[in-house]
Amino acid sequence: MCGHDGRRGYLQHLLVLPQYRRQGIAKALVERCLASLEAVGIDKCHLDVFKTNLAAARYWQSQGWQLRSDIDRYSFTRAGNDNA
Ligand SMILES: CC(C)(COP(=O)(O)OP(=O)(O)OC[C@H]1O[C@@H](n2cnc3c(N)ncnc32)[C@H](O)[C@@H]1OP(=O)(O)O)[C@@H](O)C(=O)NCCC(=O)NCCS
């Protein structure tokens, strides 16, 4: 999934089923997202990765994505909603 807020792109939930990995599917999906963002004038895209997902960290870094250390993510959960 990919969207934008008018200034920055946001990529979410990239997943390829294990039996289809290492065939360039993720690379093609991400490229389509980045090209579509670029087409509407957005050249920078963000995404979140759990710190425990070391394989994903290796993947994004292998694709040239830069790990940010200058941003903290804040979340808020409405009372009564246990969907963290
Ligand atoms: C990460 C993921 C989406 C990659 O999907 P994929 O279709 O296998 O990736 P691609 O085939 O497009 O890989 C392109 C290149 O990325 C690199 N790459 C792919 N998987 C990698 C990994 N686990 N570690 C390091 N580099 C990786 C390789 O350079 C690869 O090229 P190569 O096969 O010629 O060496 C897939 O492993 C996945 O679904 N993982 C579980 C979900 C997940 O963690 N998603 C990210 C959450 S933010």
Verify whether ligand 1 is closer than 6 Å to residue 57 (CB atom). Answer: no
Atom of ligand 1 minimally distant from the CA of 25:
7
Residue 33's domain comprises 2-62
Q: What is the pLDDT of residue 49?
A: 96
Who contacts 63 (Cβ-Cβ below 8 Å, separation ≥6)?
27, 30
Alpha-carbon span 52 to 56, nearest angstrom = 9
How far does residue 8's CA lie from ligand 1's centre (Å)? 23
Verify whether ligand 1 is closer than 6 Å to residue 59 (CB atom). Answer: yes
For the chain, list residues with pLDDT below 70: 82-84
Q: What is the pLDDT of residue 81?
A: 73
How far does residue 21's CA lie from ligand 1's centre (Å)? 7
Residue 32 covered by a domain: yes
Residue 12 covered by a domain: yes
Atom of ligand 1 minimally distant from the CA of 53:
44
Residue 70 covered by a domain: no
Q: What is the pLDDT of residue 80?
A: 79
Q: What's the predicted TM-score (pTM) here?
A: 0.90
Total number of domains in the chain: 1
CB distance 9 to 42 below 8 Å:
yes
Q: What is the pLDDT of residue 83?
A: 67
The strand order across the sheet containing 45-46 reads 2-4, 9-11, 45-46
Q: What is the pLDDT of residue 84?
A: 59
Residue 51 covered by a domain: yes
Verify whether ligand 1 is closer than 6 Å to residue 15 (CB atom). Answer: yes
CATH number, domain of 58, equals 3.40.630.30
